Chains A and B, each alone.
Chain A
Amino acid sequence: MRSQGTTGLAPDNNRRKGFVGMKNVLTGMLGVAALALTASVASAGTLDDVKAKGFVQCGVNTGLAGFAAPNDKGEWSGFDVDYCKALAAAIFGDASKVKYTPTTAKERFTALQSGEVDVLIRNTTQTLSRDTALGFDFAGVNYYDGQGFMINAKHLAGVNSALQLSGASVCVQTGTTTELNLADFFKANKMEYNPVVFEKLEEVNAAYDSGRCDVYTTDQSGLYAIRLTLASPDDHVVLPEIISKEPLGPVVRQGDSQWADIVKWTHYALLTAEELGITQANVEEMKASGGPAVKRVLGEEPDTKLGTDLGLTNDWVVNIIKAVGNYGEIFERNVGAGSPLKIARGINAQWTKGGLQYALPIR
């Protein structure tokens, strides 16, 4: 399994299952415990708890390039971290009122179930069993990811589709669902392959870079991060095929709809702001001069109750955007063109631009 927190540019694949063998046992145990716990924890009212203690306790990854990593000063930054800040801004009007708990893939669910964290914003793949057996609620998809392939175009000239990879040797980390997806894909397409498995991500990177295997497979966001550490990144191309669906997003405990609503609508507020052209720079201006839709979202409509009904103040969206900007700004700053990763928006573009990000209307 991928050792979280120890691998630098690790795309986080154990969020999917981690110990493949131990999964069922653990899931069962956690499920039982979750049943016992969710009732008491959730009924406390997470929003009231958060307001009482004065900060949001946010579970993040122990270190994932572009999504959550401490900077030189030790402050957390990244795509997921900005979501934590947005949540704090929505509740307190102050993005600094958030504390981070770095969680490994193994302990993240316990941390949420036991109430150690209020929300888990840690590139967790949303699946049915996690929604049901583990007793969680998913609050929107903030990043659509999927497993992809990267090849060295110099070694495999002319290959432009994963379907041409028959007979290739594939570098993959052992014990992850990445490995299982890989096997499924090659079997389904009746192709042969030769897996080259490693325990640690650094080893996979080194093996791929030194040419011990032709193909590298992991999540697409991870492939971009790995390109930064390759000796000659321009020789490597990411193939278009995506062989698994990895919808990532914030997770909360089941049974506290108010809290789940706040997390979910914070995500939609970020998307809506982008859709309406509200940015960190122009939010004050838009408050005064924007059209009716903008004014409604920013809580400027007379007698609006959108924010207070949510348990927040009516200027909650203004606070969020002032703190972290809209979805597009968060994306570009952390993983997009404004960052070394330079990940294209792709399917994470707004629905109006052919992507999958579709905010439910704030009205």
Chain B
Amino acid sequence: MAVGDLSYVRTEMSPAEKPPRGEHGLAAWLKKNLFASPGDSILTVVGLLLVAAILPPFVRWAFLDAAWVGADRSVCSTVVQGGIQPEGWSGACWPFVKAKFELFMFGRYPIDERWRVILVGILFVALLVPLLMPRAPRKGLNALLFFIVFPVVAFVLLVGGWFGLEHVETSLWGGLLVTLVISYVGISVSLPLGVLLALGRRSKLPVLKMLSVIFIEAVRGVPLVTVLFMASVMLPLFLPPGTTFDKLLRALIGVALFASAYMAEVIRGGLQAIPKGQYEGADSLGLGYWQKMGLIILPQALKLVIPGIVNTFIGLFKDTSLVSIIGMFDLLGIVRQAFSDTNWASPQTPMTGLVFAGFIFWIFCFGMSRYSIYTEKRLDTGHRK
């Protein structure tokens, strides 16, 4: 007897019923997400009030009332302040940012040579983007180019002195350029060095272990500001007269060593989280130390501590602002330096400059943070409890 003969048996699925009223639609969504309990309702209302209190004045200040074009402080100050705006005016001073934009990006890098910085920037993006995309091919070559070839090319281009390029002293560098150079060097040095230090600290070789511990504890125990300050104020006194130790180099070494020590502790946390069975399993397969670490332990340990690593990167990126105490100007430093230009001094200038600098920092940090979340998800191989 064919199944189809049974006329009372349905041959297709019945259409899905709508969820019951109260389980779908706007009202349900609101109830579920915003007003699920009295506590939630209070938080929602308070949150909305906060947004309502902060957002409209900010939008008005930053966009609606802001000054957009102008050549000096007069467009950003009221009549009594020596400008053209009406009494009681308050708005962002974007012409200031516009006039100083190149200064904020390149510092005092010679104007005719700025194409070199832009070229390095393009190379950086062109190499970094495929490296970050899991599906892009030739990862090995790409990494080699990014971490070995790119620094050399960037060094030659930025510093100059070869191939007919004019030499540009690092004292002329500034702004975002300095921020990115310090972060790039700090990040690319601290990760490998941090791994080595973490392995050294867990090593069974006593001398190696002791050296790693001493380095990590000594560097972590001293504030970065102190190291930079000592490098800038005391170091020149111990060097032979006339010898100048490049300021940027001092900052680079300080920041890189610093980040390495922190990174080592983050990675050590990951190493400790790997069950002993993994080590024993690797041993039982007859793997040597580096094979064991490289193939079994580190891939798991590093994956565990991605949030910690990115946290350190973000901290490092923002710590670059500390170089302003040794007379170098990172993005924040140069923005604040620009406040001292009397052509632009007005009650609105500092706020505008700081909002701009904060926005640039935020873009970079947010980018790093989103990429770290993406990587965590991609590498999630089911260890989540």
**Which residues of A come within 8 Å of B, CB atoms?**
3, 5-10, 29-30, 33, 37, 40-41, 44, 62-66, 68-75, 99, 101-104, 106-107, 110-111, 113-116, 202, 209, 225, 228-234, 339-341
Contact = CB atoms under 8 A, between A and B. Distances in A.
Contacts of A8: 336-340, 345, 349-350
Contact of B336 (A6, A30, A102, A341): A6
A340 B345 contact: yes
Given A8-B336, A113-B236, A114-B236, 17 more contacts: A5-B324, A5-B333, A6-B324, A9-B340, A41-B241, A65-B345, A70-B341, A74-B108, A103-B327, A104-B326, A107-B327, A110-B232, A110-B236, A113-B237, A228-B73, A229-B347, A229-B349
Given A72-B103, A74-B107, A229-B347, A6 B236 contact: no
A64 B241 contact: no
Given A8-B350, A9-B340, A104-B326, A229 B345 contact: yes
Contacts of B338: 8, 63, 69-70
A69 B239 contact: no
Q: Which interface class (under 10, 10 to 19, 20 to 34, 35 or more) fits B?
A: 35 or more
A9 B341 CA distance: 8
Most B CB contacts (10 A, CB to CB) among A33, A71, A99, A111 go to A71
B205 interface: no
B237 A229 contact: no
B236 A69 contact: no
Contact of A106 (B73, B111, B233): B233
A71 B338 CA distance: 8
A159 to B, nearest CB: 21
B376 interface: no
Contacts of A230: 81, 347
Contacts of B349: 8, 229
Contact of B241 (A71, A115, A225, A233): A115
Contact of B229 (A29, A63, A106): A106
Nearest to A3: B325
B100 interface: yes
B183 interface: no
B342 A341 contact: yes
Given A7-B336, A228-B346, A104 B236 contact: no
B241 A37 contact: yes
Given A70-B103, A114-B237, A65 B325 contact: no
